[in-house]
Amino acid sequence: MSEPALTSAAAARGPLAMEAISLSKDFRIGRRRTLHAVRDVSFSLYRGAVVALVGESGSGKSTAARLLAGQERLTSGAIRLDGKPVEMSSRRAFRRYKSEVQLVFQDPFSSLNPIHTVRYHLERPVRLHQGRDADAGQEVASLMEQVRLTPAQHFLAKYPHELSGGQRQRVSFARALAARPRVLLADEPVSMLDVSIRLEMLSLLDDLRQRFRLAMLYITHDIASARYFADEVLVMYAGEIVERGPAEEVTQTPAHPYTQLLVASAPDPDNLGSVLRGGGRRRGPAAASVRPQNPDGSATQGCPFSPRCPLADDRCRREDPALVQISATRGAACWHLDVAAPELASAPRGGGDTTTR
Amino acid sequence: MSTDPADDRGTGLADGRALNRATHRAAGAATGPVAGPSPARAAAPSSDPVLDIRDLSIVYRTPAGDVRAVDHVNLALAAGEVVGLAGESGSGKSTLAYGACRLLRAPALVTNGSVTYHGRRMSRPADLLRMQPDELRRLRWREIAIVVQSAMNALNPVLRVRDQLLDVIHAHLKMSRDEARERAGSLLDLVGIPRSRLRSYPHELSGGMRQRVMIAMALATEPEIIIMDEPTTALDVVVQRDILAQIVELKDSLGFSILFITHDLSLLLELADRIAVMYAGQFVEIATSDEIHREAAHPYTKGLLNSFPSLRGPRRELAGIPGSPPDLRNPAPGCPFVPRCGYARPACRDVDMQLLPVATSRDPDHATACPFVLPDTSVEPVPSVASGSPAGEPGT
């Protein structure tokens, strides 16, 4: 299977840092059943660019991040870092890999150890990744400066329970940066935080991205934040990428019926009361049934979205569509793009330039 | 029930504040009611509020002093109305709702105020805060039900859905076994879950289904008020929208009122009839959703409105609200939002946090606690966030 011919919208930002090539991950559930958590997912991360992975819970986006972080074994596929295949067989190789690729977790309440201070949380990765002779104190202070936990002295001796959610997440960011990574995988970094501080944290992440030229994977279920924060958006459904493209294009003119449903479902204060207060049921082009019939996404046949899709026909239930190129930077996996997004599909499809996922 | 705004509750307190408030309310009555009992809204079928919270104060007793979690709050909920309570975590919105139903335990303590409930099934208004425990037990859930955020924790993991529904039904309604079983089934029909799920355990349901079961349980006794405490926060947007649409549908057909607690103001703008914005235990602004959206008066409300990225329309400059909420143990005098406010000025330290009507508003009940930044005053905010917008776009 080849890397999609499609160019990533994030590519303009900087050199290629990491490639995920046809990643797949199966989980065995019970004796007979297999859950395909991630199916044939390919994308690339570029220095200084943000790629957002958007999808509902259970769509496999966190599993994808864990695969990239080396915390899960690939069922098939490959990961390349700076063009070289990633090798994690030995402890040392794994550690070297981890110093390049760091993961920030969603929940700052459980990702920090309650019995250790901020100093411990930051000194340890500094020593681990930069050697014992590194000036840990100096390094920790500068890390805390970077994530704006200042004055550093004030926070060093504090325990996680003494910090607010935002401050804890800052510690998580600092901990991830302690390894001086090139790739930062942020798994819903702000979704546990209050709305009022989410923005501040996202702009902090953005700031860090620029300053350290981080290649960032931003995982979220909030497609609106992806619009503002990311260069490229990948929409995941049941383990597959169903649409990808520049953030603004995907959010403004979604092509795939699932993306359309996702966009239509986001709270929209500028369209006050149109649906909810009016007592009406639904809006938008995709009047899709929103009750998943197969919540674990384990449908083995056909398009994974077909049970919920208003456009689904026999072909959709039989064959899984491949990612079709819509433009140089956009693609969507749907048999009925001509109906779902006629204005997009009318453009030439790239003459059989369909790519596999 | 008494709707006299100059009701003398709280005047017995040594605290001069309460007195101020009472007089303020009296003054407000002359020019049009302010934050107290609201007159009938066009959408509300009845003029009498079902739930009338007056001058409620709740503290958490700690060795280091009282934390003023809710500070002299007035809120009226009309029949069939959806009132949204918005605010950050720690702003006191849940404490207010739970305190009003006397669901808080020590160290929480209600220090002031009254909560009057007057439902259709009640012969006379009842003061929840002064009720006998057995009366209260009959009233809770029968009249006022709650849907909590974490359905997984709220449901009993070792009981089937049916048994949990039957528990509620038998506890509050006189019904035979067969009737109750039939009712349990019809409740699931109501929230769109197949009856076969009656035999399921909570862990066998998806997050959305569990939340629907919670809603079914809340509906079991046909309560007049449902308090919803972040009922969809843990769910993703598609399921969230579906559940909210269902709640609105059920509300329209069954006619209950909703007190909806969330930190997501964008959700409330779509869902609620009126929105009360809470900060540091006090209401800083209250108005209809349209007014909040069109003409928010308080800097904190404006900050909240600017905190979420919009999916549609042109990309806006986003600001967020820098800083964190104040320590409520030793609140500084004046407006609690001063340290984070872009419009702050020295006079803010002397503000007595009263809700004043916003003269320019289309909503006669629109009130804000900020006397300075009303829409007609052209004060430029002091820029407080360096560059708020997470810039990361290659063109628009």
CATH of the domain at B246: 3.40.50.300
The answer to whether residue B90 is domain-embedded is yes
pLDDT at B312: 78
Phi, psi at residue B235, to the nearest 5°? -105, 160
A43 Cβ contact partners less than 8 Å away, ≥ 6 residues apart? A8, A19, A20, A51, A232, A234, A241, A244
Question: What would the DSSP string read from start to end of B28-90?
Answer: HHHH---SSSPPPPSS-S-SSEEEEEEEEEEEEEETTEEEEEEEEEEEEEETT-EEEEE--TT
Within-domain flag for A166:
yes
Whole-number pLDDT of residue B264: 85
Contact residues for B242 (Cβ-Cβ < 8 A; gap 6+): A265, A290, A291, B208
For residues A330 and A9, give the distance between their C-alpha atoms in angstroms, rounded to a whole number.
8
Q: Which burial class, exposed, middle or buried, applies to A138 when counting CB atoms under 10 A from its CB (0-12, 13-18, 19+)?
A: exposed
Which is nearest to A329 in space by CA: A8, A112, A3? A8
Q: Output the six-digit token pair for A52.
A: 């957002």
Do the domain assignments include residue B189? no
- Cβ-proximal residues to B201 (8 Å cutoff; 6+ apart), any chain: B157, B158, B159, B160, B161
Query: Which pLDDT does position B7 carry in this prediction?
Result: 39
CB contact under 8 A, A196 and B396: no
Kindly provide the residue ranges of all beta strands, DSSP E only, lying in A148-306, ordered along the sequence. Answer: 183-187, 215-220, 232-237, 240-246
Left, alpha or beta for B16 (phi > 0: left; psi -120 to 50: alpha)?
alpha
- Given a cut of 60, whether residue A292 has pLDDT beyond it is no
Collect all residues of chain A within an 8 Å Cβ-Cβ radius of residue B269: 267, 269, 272
- For all residues of chain A together, what is the average pLDDT? 83
Alpha-carbon distance of A219 to A61, in angstroms, equals 7
- In this predicted structure, the answer to whether residue A349 has a pLDDT above a threshold of 80 is no
Sign of the CA dihedral with B24 first, then B28, B31, and B34 last: positive
Q: Around Cβ A119, how many Cβ atoms within 10 Å?
A: 17
* In the predicted structure, residue B32 carries a pLDDT above the cut 80: no
Rounded to the nearest angstrom, the gap between the alpha carbon of residue B247 and the centroid of all alpha carbons in its chain is: 16
Q: Would you place residue A174 in the very low, low, confident or very high pLDDT band (cuts 50, 70, 90)?
A: very high
Distance CA B320, CA B337 (A): 14
Which of B269, B311, B390 is the closest to A272 by Cβ?
B269
Q: Å from A192 to nearest chain B CA? A: 9
CA-to-CA separations, B168 to B141, B187, B390, in angstroms, rounded: 8, 12, 48
Place of tokens 């995907």: A250
Predicted confidence at residue B384, as pLDDT, reads 43
Residues of B within 8 A of A264 (CB-CB) are: 241
Q: How far is B58 from chain A (nearest CA, A)?
A: 23
Task: Tell me B91's DSSP state.
Answer: S
CB A95 within 8 A of CB A86: no
Query: What pLDDT sits at residue B374?
Result: 57
Of A273-277, A344-348, B218-222, B295-299, which gets the smallest average pLDDT? A273-277
A220 falls within a domain: yes
Residue A351 falls within a domain, yes or no? no
> Phi first, then psi: what are they for A255, rounded to 5°?
-100, -40
- Structural domain including B251 reads 16-143+221-368
A279 confidence band (pLDDT: 50, 70, 90): very low
Report the pLDDT averaged over residues A21-38: 86
Sign of CA dihedral B325, B264, B56, B349: positive
pLDDT for A30: 77
CB atoms within 10 A of CB A349: 15
Six token digits for residue B339: 């340290």
- Residue B356 is inside which H or E element, if any? strand B356-357
Strand order in the sheet with B274-279: B144-147, B225-229, B257-262, B82-86, B274-279, B282-288, B367-368, B356-357
Give the residue with greater pLDDT, B81 vs A134. Answer: B81
pLDDT on residue A101:
93
Residue A329, domain member (yes or no)? no
A224: three-class secondary structure by DSSP: helix
Mean pLDDT of B145-159: 84
Mean pLDDT computed over B122-131: 85
Q: How far apart are CA A208 and CA A190, in angstroms?
A: 15
Q: Which of A124-128, B2-6, B130-134, B353-357 shows the lowest per-residue confidence on average (mean pLDDT)? A: B2-6
Would residue B9 count as lying in a domain?
no
Identify the pLDDT of residue A271: 60
B388 contacts in chain A (CB < 8 Å): 199-200, 203
Average pLDDT of the residues in B339-354: 84
Q: Tell me: the pLDDT tens digits for B191-244?
A: 888 888 899 998 888 888 888 899 889 888 889 999 999 888 777 788 888 888
Determine contact: B20 vs chain A, CB below 8 A: no
Helices A257-265 & B237-254 angle (0-180, nearest 10) = 50
Residue B273 near residue B351 (C-beta atoms within 8 A): no
Given CB atoms, is B240 within the 8 Å cutoff of chain A? yes
Number of domains in chain A: 1
B242 domain-assigned: yes
Chain A residues within an 8 Å CB radius of B309: 199, 222, 224-225, 227-229
For residue range A1-11, list pLDDT tens digits in order: 444 567 888 88
Question: Comparing B10-14, B96-100, B228-232, which segment has the lowest mean pLDDT?
Answer: B10-14
Q: What is the pLDDT of residue B261?
A: 93
pLDDT confidence band for B346 (50 / 70 / 90): confident
B248·A248 Cβ contact <8 A? no
Q: Are the beta carbons of A54 and A86 closer than 8 angstroms?
A: no
Domain containing A106 equals: 11-256
A199 in contact with B, Cβ within 8 Å: yes
Going by pLDDT thresholds of 50, 70 and 90, the confidence category of residue A295 is very low
Higher pLDDT, B313 or B181: B181
Residue A247 has pLDDT above 90, yes or no: yes
Collect all residues of chain A within an 8 Å Cβ-Cβ radius of residue B342.
none
Q: Minimum mean pLDDT among A89-93, A181-185, A232-236: which range?
A: A89-93
- Maximum distance among all alpha carbons in chain B? 68
Which CATH number do you get for residue A85? 3.40.50.300
Specify whether the backbone of B225 is left (phi greater than 0), alpha (psi in -120 to 50) or beta: beta
Q: How many domains does chain B have?
A: 1
Residue in A closest to B89 by C-alpha: A194
Q: Residue A54 pLDDT > 90, yes or no?
A: yes
Residue A157 within any structural domain of the chain: yes
Averaged pLDDT for residues A254-279: 74
Residue A262 lies in a domain: no
CB B220 within 8 A of CB B136: no
- ipTM > 0.90, yes or no: no
Q: State pLDDT tens for residues B45-76.
A: 446 789 999 999 999 998 888 888 898 999 99
* B387 belongs to a structural domain: no
Q: Give B277 to chain A, closest Cα distance, Å.
A: 13
- Is the peptide bond prior to A307 cis by the omega test (within 30 degrees of 0)? no
What are the tokens at A262?
């996702």
Q: How far apart are CA A346 and CA A327, in angstroms?
A: 11
Q: Is residue A338 part of a domain?
A: no
